[in-house]
Amino acid sequence: MSSSSCRKKYESPGTIQPTTVNPFSPPPSATTARDQLNALFQDLRYTPEVKCVTAGIAQTVTFSGGTVLTLYPNSFKDGSGLPITSGTICISLIEMYKPGDMISNRATTVATAGILHSGGQVYITATHNGQRVNANKYGIAFRQNAGSTATMFLYSGSSTTADPLVTWGAPDTAVGAVAKATDTGFGGGEGFYFVFDSCSDMGWTNCDALADRTSPRTTVRVTPDDTLVGRSSTHCLIVLHDINSVVPFDEYITSSHTFDLSSSFGHQVPIGMSASIVVINTRANGDIYYYQKDGLTISDGMSLNVTLTKISKEQLKVNLASL
């Protein structure tokens, strides 16, 4: 579908004071290392940015990370499927454009068909009179640092809980878009955008395309030297900087105490790409252990022996923000 209808500029209504709400359920009381891991990521998740608008009015809304929503007069509907055309709609948005953003919010770039090349992710909800509402149709634009001719698609995620990593299903190929190098000034700001003008879902939303599936690929193995760094208490991830991708190590070999990428070709990583390895581990007493190795180049059969060090939660946030 053409993105041209997203170009029209609308005047926004007066500002209405928003209320920030954490959309995720808190984890249970932390009594095990897995509980501690869940509690840690509950705290690492970003606080949603909330903007409130008047329903029934065509307008654009720009968030601090550059994401632009184009709202139509009938963009939202209630639980009965009826359009909401009056009152206040409060939109809650978490923006995840960099790998560190994705890791902090437990979002990956892996879909059913394989690894994704990411143009950004958001978690979006909306309320009317304090009640969650559904999307009828709205536009969304993901801001980019540079122009691109890549065709991107919208993917919907599968999780809103505090525990699992978010993964993605099949793309909505009906709303593919191309970011144009000359596309500046969209939504009143400057930059380049992947633009989708007919979105009907909220929740986890991802601007992605399947990564190159023709180049040689490989599995990667990570073996911690500490046997307390086990599957249930640890996130082990590889960051592919060339495609802005975060891939979890989804296999754990107990006998060798090793994290491994899936043997499925779709989840193996391309040889030659620039990468970082990130390992986050928690202990039942609340301590956090961390490993990060930057400047790697993926090689065939790549294997790393790693040593985690104790880290504060504040320093962990700083490290993830730099990815």
Query: 3 phi and psi, to 5 degrees?
Result: -95, 5
Which pTM was predicted? 0.87
Domain range list for the chain: 4-210, 217-321
pLDDT value of residue 188: 59
Average of per-residue pLDDT across 138-161: 84
What tokens appear for 70 in the block? 């184009």
207: exposed, middle or buried (Cβ count in 10 Å: 0-12, 13-18, 19+): buried
Whole-number Å distance between alpha carbons of 260 and 258: 6
Among 39-48, 93-102, 158-167, the minimum mean pLDDT is found in: 158-167
What tokens appear for 87 in the block? 């009152």
What tokens appear for 217 in the block? 């690929």
Pick from 110, 104, 101, 103: nearest CA to 142 = 101
220 has pLDDT over 60:
yes
Fold observed for domain 217-321:
Immunoglobulin-like (2.60.40)
Average of per-residue pLDDT across 168-173: 82
Using DSSP bridges, classify how beta strands 251-253 and 203-210 pair: parallel, antiparallel or unpaired: unpaired
Q: Does residue 204 contact residue 156 with C-beta atoms inside 8 Å?
A: yes
Average pLDDT value over all residues in the chain:
85
Whole-number Å distance between alpha carbons of 260 and 248: 9
pLDDT value of residue 176: 66
pLDDT value of residue 6: 34
Average of per-residue pLDDT across 28-42: 80
Average of per-residue pLDDT across 249-262: 90
pLDDT value of residue 16: 36
Strand partners, 155: 171, 206
